[in-house]
Amino acid sequence: MGYILLVLILIIAILLGAVILVQNPKGTGLASGFESAGKIGGVQRTTDFLEKATWYLTIALFVLCIGATGAFSGGSTDTGGFEEDEFVAPVPTEAPAPMQEAPAN
């Protein structure tokens, strides 16, 4: 499930980048190629479509990213670190007695 979300996120991110690059900050963008048709009223519709597509893709990307974090975390509360009860107190050990040499005969 998580990998499907990742693929969708990738597709939406690419589409969002394309839609943003098609737009022109001065408002002409893709519509500038259709200036003759603009007199009929097509320019405003193209600009509205690109703006709406940007917002819809942005919202979809946001929702999918939030969903992907839930899918990959798996609802686990494990922090990946050590818990307090995992530490074991060191066991005191006695130092071995030094070896005594056998008496020489």
| Residue at 91 is within a domain | no
Torsion of CA 67, 71, 74, 78, to 10 degrees: -70
| Residue at 81 is within a domain | no
| Residue at 89 is within a domain | no
| Residue at 39 is within a domain | yes
Q: Which domain holds residue 68?
A: 2-73
- Over residues 9-29, the pLDDT tens digits come to 999 999 999 998 988 766 555
Are the CB atoms for 64 and 8 separated by under 8 Å? yes
- Cα 56 from chain centroid (whole Å): 18
| Residue at 78 is within a domain | no
pTM for this one?
A: 0.54
Residue 78's pLDDT band (cuts 50, 70, 90): low
Are the CB atoms for 37 and 43 separated by under 8 Å? yes
**Mean pLDDT confidence for 35-44:** 54
**Mean pLDDT confidence for 54-71:** 91
Residue 83 has pLDDT above 80, yes or no: no
- How is 33-87 classified by DSSP, letter by letter? GGHHHHTTTHHHHHHHHHHHHHHHHHHHHHHHHHHHHHHHHTT----SS--GGG-
Domain count for the chain, please give it. 1
pLDDT computed for residue 99 by the predictor? 75
Residue 98 has pLDDT above 60, yes or no: yes
| Residue at 93 is within a domain | no
